Chain A
Amino acid sequence: MRYIVLLVLGMTAFFTHAQSVNKQSSEIATANPQSNGTANQSGENNLLGLPSVPIPANNPQTPAKIELGDKLFHDKRFSVDGTVSCAKCHDDKLAFTDGMAVSVGHNGLTGTRNAPTVLNAAFNQFQFWDGREPDLEGQSKQPLINPVEHGLAKYEPILKIIRTDSYYPAAFQSVFGISSEKVTIDHVAKAIASFERTLVSGDSPFDRYYFKGQSDAMTDAQIRGLNLFVNQGRCVSCHIIEKDQALFTDGRFHNIGIGINQIQQDIPRLTKAFLEAKNKGGNVDVMVLSDKKSSELGRFAVTDELSQIGAFKTPTLRNVELTAPYMHDGSLLTLKDVMIHYNNGGVTKSGDRVNDFLSGGIRPLNLTDAQLEDLVAFMKALTSSKFSPKDASPAPTQAANRKRNSL
C-alpha cells in the first residue's frame, strides 16, 4: 500500500487564519456615525456601506470594456438553442436573479441550484455556491458550456458569433487591441467580469442608519431586528458587519442543514461515488448541476474535505428582499421560512433529524415569533435605494412566490 506514503503530498490548506471577523458588541442601538468615505450630501451614494470594489491587476475597468461586457452578458446567442444569456438567470429586472427555485437553462432543462444575485458578487472571495471558482472571470466561463445551462459543448460557437457580428469585432479591437480572429473566451470572460464589477449596490436603510447615523432610516422593528441580528440571532457571525462597511458574508462555507438533510442516508454512497467519478476525470461543474444529490455535497465536491460535506458559501444579505426564493437550492420561499429554519437549529421542520455534519455555529435560537418578524423586517432594511421595491415592477419577491406557487 505504497499510496499511504503519498498521503502527505496532497495537503491543501485553504483556510485563512487571519480571520477578519469583526464581531459586534451588544452596543448597537446607537448608530455608528462613521460614514464611508465619499457619501454625498443628498445621500445618493450608491456605494454607502461597501468597501471599494477589488479590481484584478490583469483586468482593469474601462468604460468600453464595461459596455462590451454588458452586451455579452445579455447575448442570448451564446447558447445551444439561442435562448440563454447570462441575464436569463441573472435578470436585471429581478435584482439579477430569476425568481425561480433552481434555474432553467436551454430547452427547459433545470439545474440544481438557485441563481445568486450578481449584485455585489464583485466582493465575493469565491464564486458559485460551492466556491469552485475564485473570481468572476473564471465563473463566467462555466455556465456557457454546462449541459443544463447554456448547453454549448465548447466555446467555439461563441467566438464564431463574435467574429462575424456587426458590433463585436470593433468593440474587442478597441477594448483589447486585438482583431476578432484573436479573441478567446478569456477576453469574453474579462469583459463580462468588468461589467459585473459595476453591479455593486449599497445605500440601504441599514447603511444610512448605521454608517451615516440617520436614526430614522430604519423602522423600530428593523432596529429591533438589527439587535437580534448581532446578538441572540447569532446571524452576524457569518453575515458580517464591520465598523466601516458591511458585506454580510464571511466568504466561508457552512453546513446549515439545507439540502443535506434530505440525503442523510445516502451520504456514504454519494461521497464515495462522487470521489470515484471525480478521480476518473469527472467535471465538478457538470456533476453538481446535473445531479441533485451530488449537488447537496456542497463544498466537499470541490475540496474532498469531509468537514465540508453539505457546506455552502455564506451569501450576502444585501437586497435579499428581492431575491426569493432562498438558500442554495431555493427551497425556502420566504424570509420568514429562513428565520424559522435557523431558529430550529438547522432543520426546516422542528423535530426533524439534524444532519451529522451540521456546522458548529448552528444551534436552536429560542427566538419568539415576534422576534423572527423583527429579523425579517431588518432583512428588508438591506435593500439598496436603487432597487427599492416600490420602483420595481413587478415586485420580485411576490413575482417569485407567485411563480413558485403555480408550479
Chain B
Amino acid sequence: MNTLNNSRRNFMKNVGALALGSTLPFSLVELAFAESDQNFTFAYISDAHLQHIKGTRFVRTWDRGLIRAVAETNLLTPKPDFVIFGGDLAQLGSKAELDHGTEILSALNTKVHHVMGEHDYYLDLGEYWEKLFGPQYYSFDHKGVHFIILNSIRTYDDWTFKRWPTSEQRMLEMAGLDNPNGSPFMVGEEQRKWLKSDLAKINKNTPVVVFSHSPLQKIYKGWNFWTEDAEQIQALLKPFKKVSVIYGHVHQIQYNQIGNISFNSVMATAWPWPYPQSYAQAEQYLPKLTVPMNRADPFFDRDATGWQFINLANGRVDLNYTLYNNANRIVRYNTKKKRPEDSAYQGEDARIPPQTHY
C-alpha cells in the first residue's frame, strides 16, 4: 500500500504542477492517464486455516490473521477489481469452519473468487464448499485476461474413496505433512479434459492466469508442494504467449519460470512454512529461492504471514506482498529476462540475512 501511494505521490511529482497544485479529486488523476484496459489490480488472500475448537470458539490467531487481511484489502486504493481466496479457508473442512470463514470474508467490499484447498475438501469432497462458493473449477474473462480456477488438490480415486473408514480420518490424513499415508495432489483427468476444451476457445495471444491451491509444478512431494499431473497441465498451457500460475498452499514466497509459464506463490494469513529440510533432494525442480523466509517470531502471531495485491500489467503479474514485521516485497515479471524476479533481492549479495534470535 505504501508502494501504491508513494508511487502515486512520485507520479504526481513527476507530472508536476498539473497534479501538485491542482484540486482535482484523486480518482480523476488516475483516469486521465488510464490507457490500457489490460492493466488492473486484484487482491489475493489465502490459507486462513480457520480452526473450530467447539461451540462458538475458534482458534483466535487464525481468525485475526484473516480479519486483518480482509480489513486491509478493503482499504486498497484503487479498489481491486476482485479478490481471490486461495484455498484452505478451513482447517478440517467442517461446516462450522467454512461458515465462519464465509462470515469473515463477507466483510470484503469486492467480489470474491474461491479456490479449493485440501483442508476445505477432504471431509465431504467439496460438497458444502460448493454450496457456499460455487463450482470447484471454472473460467472467467476480465478486461482482456482469461482467468482459470482449478481444483488441484484432488488425488487418486483409490485413496479418496476406498482407503479410509471415515471421512474425518481421510481429512486428517491429508492434512498431515510428510505423512506416509498421504497421497500426491493432482488436477485429474476430468478437469484436464475441461481445461483443454476451455482453452481451445481462447486466442493464443490472450494473457492466461491460472489459480490453483497447489503449485502446478513439482517442488516437494512430502508436503504436497506438488501436483502429480503438473507436466500435463503445463503442456495444455504451452501454446499461450503469456501464462501465469498463482498458487497458495506453500505459505512462503516462491517464484519460478518453466518455459512460457510464470509461477508465483502467495503467503498465508495463518502461519509461515519454512522450507523442508529435504528440499535440496529435488534440485531439478527447485523454484528460484533468492531469499529464505525469515524465521517467524512466535511472539508476533502475524510475523512471516501476509496477503498480496497483484497488478496485472500488460497481462503479466506483479505480486506485491504485504508482510507483517518484515519489509514488503514485490515479485515482478522481468520482460528482458522473461521470468519473475524479486524487485529487491535478485543477487546473492542482496539477500536478506536471517533474523538473529537468541
Residues of A at the B interface (CB closer than 8 Å) are: 1-15, 17-23, 234, 237, 267-268, 271-272, 275-276, 279-281, 303-307, 309, 354, 356-361, 363-364
The chain A residue with its CB closest to the CB of B63 is A354
Find chain A residues with CB under 8 A from B265 CB: none
Nearest Cβ on chain B to A320's Cβ, whole angstroms = 21
Decide yes or no whether B232 CB sits under 8 A from chain A: no
Whole-angstrom CA separation of A15 from B26 in the bound complex: 29
Known contacts A1-B33, A361-B301; is-contact A304 B5 (Cβ 8 Å): yes
Q: List 6 A-B contacts (CB under 8 A).
A: A1-B36, A4-B41, A279-B5, A305-B2, A357-B72, A358-B64
Known contacts A234-B299, A357-B68; is-contact A10 B3 (Cβ 8 Å): yes
Nearest Cβ on chain B to A298's Cβ, whole angstroms = 14
Find chain A residues with CB under 8 A from B65 CB: 360
Question: 8 tightest A-B contacts by CB?
Answer: A10-B6, A360-B302, A356-B71, A360-B301, A13-B327, A306-B1, A304-B2, A237-B299
10 further contact pairs, Cβ within 8 A, besides A4-B41, A17-B355, A272-B77: A1-B36, A2-B34, A5-B313, A7-B4, A13-B327, A19-B355, A267-B75, A357-B72, A360-B303, A363-B61
Task: Say whether B39 contacts A1, CB under 8 Å.
Answer: yes
Task: Say whether A15 contacts B325, CB under 8 Å.
Answer: yes
Partner of B11, one of A6, A12, A304: A6
Task: Say whether B353 contacts A279, CB under 8 Å.
Answer: no
Whole-angstrom CA separation of A305 from B3 in the bound complex: 8
Interface range on chain B: under 10, 10 to 19, 20 to 34, or 35 or more?
A: 35 or more
Whole-angstrom CA separation of A272 from B5 in the bound complex: 10
Decide yes or no whether B70 CB sits under 8 A from chain A: yes
Task: Say whether B2 contacts A3, CB under 8 Å.
Answer: no
Decide yes or no whether B179 CB sits under 8 A from chain A: no
Known contacts A11-B328, A11-B344; is-contact A4 B313 (Cβ 8 Å): yes
Task: Say whether A268 contacts B355, CB under 8 Å.
Answer: no
The chain A residue with its CB closest to the CB of B36 is A1
The chain B residue with its CB closest to the CB of A5 is B313
Task: Say whether A7 contacts B301, CB under 8 Å.
Answer: no
Partner of B322, one of A23, A307, A359, A360: A307
The chain B residue with its CB closest to the CB of A346 is B64
The chain A residue with its CB closest to the CB of B324 is A307
A-contact bits for B1-42, CB 8 A (1 contact / 0 none): 111111111111010000010010010001001111001110
Find chain A residues with CB under 8 A from B299 CB: 23, 234, 237, 361
Number of interchain pairs (Cβ within 8 Å):
158
Task: Say whether B8 contacts A279, CB under 8 Å.
Answer: yes
Whole-angstrom CA separation of A33 from B64 in the bound complex: 41
Find chain A residues with CB under 8 A from B290 CB: none
Nearest Cβ on chain A to B32's Cβ, whole angstroms = 10
Task: Say whether A12 contacts B6, CB under 8 Å.
Answer: yes
Whole-angstrom CA separation of A332 from B353 in the bound complex: 40
Whole-angstrom CA separation of A234 from B300 in the bound complex: 11
Known contacts A11-B330, A268-B74; is-contact A360 B300 (Cβ 8 Å): yes
Task: Say whether A10 contacts B301, CB under 8 Å.
Answer: no
Whole-angstrom CA separation of A5 from B344 in the bound complex: 16
Find chain B residues with CB under 8 A from A7 CB: 3-4, 7, 311, 318, 320, 330
Find chain B residues with CB under 8 A from A5 CB: 39, 313
Find chain B residues with CB under 8 A from A354 CB: 64
Decide yes or no whether B332 CB sits under 8 A from chain A: yes
Task: Say whether A360 contacts B61, CB under 8 Å.
Answer: yes
Whole-angstrom CA separation of A268 from B311 in the bound complex: 21
A-contact bits for B50-90, CB 8 A (1 contact / 0 none): 00000000001100110110111011110000000000000
Decide yes or no whether B260 CB sits under 8 A from chain A: no
Nearest Cβ on chain B to A162's Cβ, whole angstroms = 34
Partner of B7, one of A10, A13, A18: A10
Find chain A residues with CB under 8 A from B6 CB: 9-12, 304
Whole-angstrom CA separation of A14 from B328 in the bound complex: 10
Find chain B residues with CB under 8 A from A275 CB: 5, 77
Whole-angstrom CA separation of A298 from B70 in the bound complex: 20
Find chain B residues with CB under 8 A from A364 CB: 60
Find chain B residues with CB under 8 A from A12 CB: 2, 6
Task: Say whether A3 contacts B11, CB under 8 Å.
Answer: yes
Task: Say whether B33 contacts A303, CB under 8 Å.
Answer: no
A-contact bits for B111-142, CB 8 A (1 contact / 0 none): 00000000000000000000000000000000
The chain B residue with its CB closest to the CB of A238 is B299
Nearest Cβ on chain A to B259's Cβ, whole angstroms = 26
Task: Say whether A11 contacts B3, CB under 8 Å.
Answer: yes
Task: Say whether B72 contacts A268, CB under 8 Å.
Answer: no
Task: Say whether B7 contacts A271, CB under 8 Å.
Answer: no
Decide yes or no whether B181 CB sits under 8 A from chain A: no
Find chain B residues with CB under 8 A from A10 CB: 2-7, 9-10
Whole-angstrom CA separation of A20 from B11 in the bound complex: 36
Q: Which of B10, B41, B68, B72 has its CB near the most chain A CB atoms (within 10 A)?
A: B68
Find chain A residues with CB under 8 A from B330 CB: 7-8, 11
Q: Which of B4, B23, B67 has its CB near the most chain A CB atoms (within 10 A)?
A: B4
Nearest Cβ on chain A to B343's Cβ, whole angstroms = 6
Task: Say whether B67 contacts A281, CB under 8 Å.
Answer: no
The chain B residue with its CB closest to the CB of A15 is B327
Nearest Cβ on chain B to A229's Cβ, whole angstroms = 14
Whole-angstrom CA separation of A5 from B11 in the bound complex: 10
Decide yes or no whether B356 CB sits under 8 A from chain A: yes
Whole-angstrom CA separation of A2 from B37 in the bound complex: 11
Decide yes or no whether B294 CB sits under 8 A from chain A: yes
Whole-angstrom CA separation of A23 from B358 in the bound complex: 7
Known contacts A12-B6, A276-B26; is-contact A356 B70 (Cβ 8 Å): yes
Known contacts A8-B318, A8-B343, A356-B68; is-contact A279 B12 (Cβ 8 Å): yes
Q: Which of A4, A20, A275 has its CB near the most chain B CB atoms (within 10 A)?
A: A4
Find chain B residues with CB under 8 A from A307 CB: 72, 322, 324
Find chain B residues with CB under 8 A from A19 CB: 297, 355-357
Decide yes or no whether B352 CB sits under 8 A from chain A: yes
Partner of A17, one of B70, B301, B353: B353
Whole-angstrom CA separation of A311 from B191 in the bound complex: 46
Nearest Cβ on chain A to B74's Cβ, whole angstroms = 6
Decide yes or no whether B326 CB sits under 8 A from chain A: yes
The chain B residue with its CB closest to the CB of A276 is B26
Find chain B residues with CB under 8 A from A23 CB: 299, 357-358
Q: Which of B11, B26, B40, B330 has its CB near the most chain A CB atoms (within 10 A)?
A: B11
Known contacts A3-B7, A356-B67; is-contact A15 B75 (Cβ 8 Å): no
Whole-angstrom CA separation of A21 from B294 in the bound complex: 14
Whole-angstrom CA separation of A393 from B129 in the bound complex: 67
Find chain B residues with CB under 8 A from A234 CB: 299
Find chain A residues with CB under 8 A from B26 CB: 276, 279
Task: Say whether B7 contacts A9, CB under 8 Å.
Answer: yes
Whole-angstrom CA separation of A280 from B328 in the bound complex: 25
